């Protein structure tokens, strides 16, 4: 049985994503697809508040039922929640989609992406992603060596073909402007840095079980999601609103990002209520787990 029915997909696209002209959607499937991908990043936050608010003994990779509930409620979650839901949503909308394995900063299978087949013509391939660095559109993979440069929001990115150390043909996602991962990731001479490596072999969802279980349960190098707080969302104009640890990040019309320190617990809670009200229920427990503002408590 499919995770999302066709009727549920139509309701989600119209109600949750705000694409109310679903019945009059463009006949061009790629145009419609890109509207869905962009709206998804605007309406569903990438966040780890839910994870941090869960008692450590109860943390685990979410079930498909939990994934569905988290996205339909607008709460969102980590890439396992956002990408998994988006894949099944696109499937219910009639697209030919598959999970593919991604490795962010060289950690195997700690990310997953969506491969779309036959979108524009028989044999075409496209890549879609929905995480803290979304693609905003389906990326055509018909380039020979390097893709065009994409400038979206405050960052620029592109893709490149490569044979990895295992002799596998992979696609690298490279970042330059807006990259905040510092010295990690392979750095190329023109300033581009490897953010993620995608293997385009279609995978069953179970392929990711072990790696994703670690992300939800074990603080380890390469996964900041149990040692710091992250919430990221983008407007339909590709402007970011985010919280990273104790800072609010706001992107202006010129796509410059300004940082605002959240100096008190009260300020933190009011900021979450203003920008991410759907996360207000779990934020107190998340801050408590991270021991943020413990000096204010009596």
pLDDT digits (tens, 9 = 90+) for 187-218: 666 889 889 999 999 999 999 999 999 999 99
Q: Give residue for tokens 């380890």.
A: 220
Q: Which of 51, 45, 54, 53 is nearest to 286 (CA)?
A: 53
The two beta strands, 107-117 and 125-128, are: antiparallel
- Please state, as a whole number, how many other Cβ atoms lie within 10 Å of the Cβ of residue 18: 12
Specify whether the CB–CB gap between 290 and 229 falls below 8 A. Answer: yes
Q: What phi and psi values does residue 219 have, to the nearest 5 degrees?
A: -65, 120
pLDDT tens per residue across span 92-129:
999 999 999 999 877 889 999 999 999 999 999 999 99
Query: What's the rounded Cα separation, in Å, for the pair 182 and 105?
Result: 11
Provide the edge-to-edge strand list for the sheet that holds 257-261.
Answer: 46-47, 230-234, 240-244, 247-251, 257-261
Residue 268 has pLDDT above 70, yes or no: yes
DSSP state of 3: S
CA distance 98 to 113: 8
| Lookup result for tokens 């994409």 | 150
> pLDDT per residue over 10-67, tens digit each?
999 999 999 988 888 888 999 999 999 999 999 999 999 999 999 999 999 999 999 9
User: Tokens 């190329």 identify what position?
Assistant: 188
Q: Provide the whole-model pTM.
A: 0.94
Q: How far apart are CA 281 and CA 284, in angstroms?
A: 7
- Cα separation, 206 vs 50, in Å, equals 22
Q: Residue 77: phi, psi to the nearest 5?
A: 165, -160
What stretch of H or E contains 52? Answer: helix 49-53
Q: Strand pairing partners for 251?
A: 257
């Amino acid at each position: 049985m499919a995770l999302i029915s066709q009727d549920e997909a139509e309701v989600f696209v119209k109600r949750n994503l705000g694409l109310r002209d679903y019945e009059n959607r463009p006949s061009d499937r790629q145009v419609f697809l890109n509207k869905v991908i962009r709206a998804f990043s605007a309406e569903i936050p990438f966040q780890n508040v839910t994870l941090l608010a869960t008692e450590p003994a109860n943390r685990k990779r979410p079930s498909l039922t939990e994934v569905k509930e988290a996205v339909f409620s607008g709460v969102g979650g980590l890439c396992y929640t956002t990408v998994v839901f988006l894949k099944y949503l696109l499937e219910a909308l009639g697209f030919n989609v598959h999970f593919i394995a991604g490795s962010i900063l060289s950690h195997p299978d700690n990310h997953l992406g969506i491969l779309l087949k036959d979108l524009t013509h028989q044999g075409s391939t496209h890549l879609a992603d929905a995480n803290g660095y979304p693609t905003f559109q389906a990326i055509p993979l018909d380039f020979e060596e390097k893709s065009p440069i994409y400038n979206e929001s405050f960052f620029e990115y592109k893709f490149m073909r490569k044979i990895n150390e295992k002799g596998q043909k992979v696609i690298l996602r490279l970042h330059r402007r807006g990259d905040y991962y510092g010295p990690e990731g392979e750095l190329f001479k023109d300033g581009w840095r490897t953010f993620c490596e995608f293997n385009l072999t279609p995978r069953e969802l179970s392929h990711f079980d072990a790696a994703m279980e670690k992300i939800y349960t074990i603080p380890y190098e390469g996964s900041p999601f149990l040692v710091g707080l992250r919430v990221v969302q983008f407007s339909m104009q590709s402007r970011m609103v985010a919280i990273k640890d104790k800072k609010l990040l706001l992107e202006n019309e010129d796509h410059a990002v300004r940082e605002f320190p959240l100096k008190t617990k009260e300020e933190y809670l009011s900021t979450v209520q203003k920008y991410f009200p759907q996360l207000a229920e779990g934020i107190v427990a998340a801050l408590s787990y991270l021991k943020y503002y413990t000096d204010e408590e009596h």
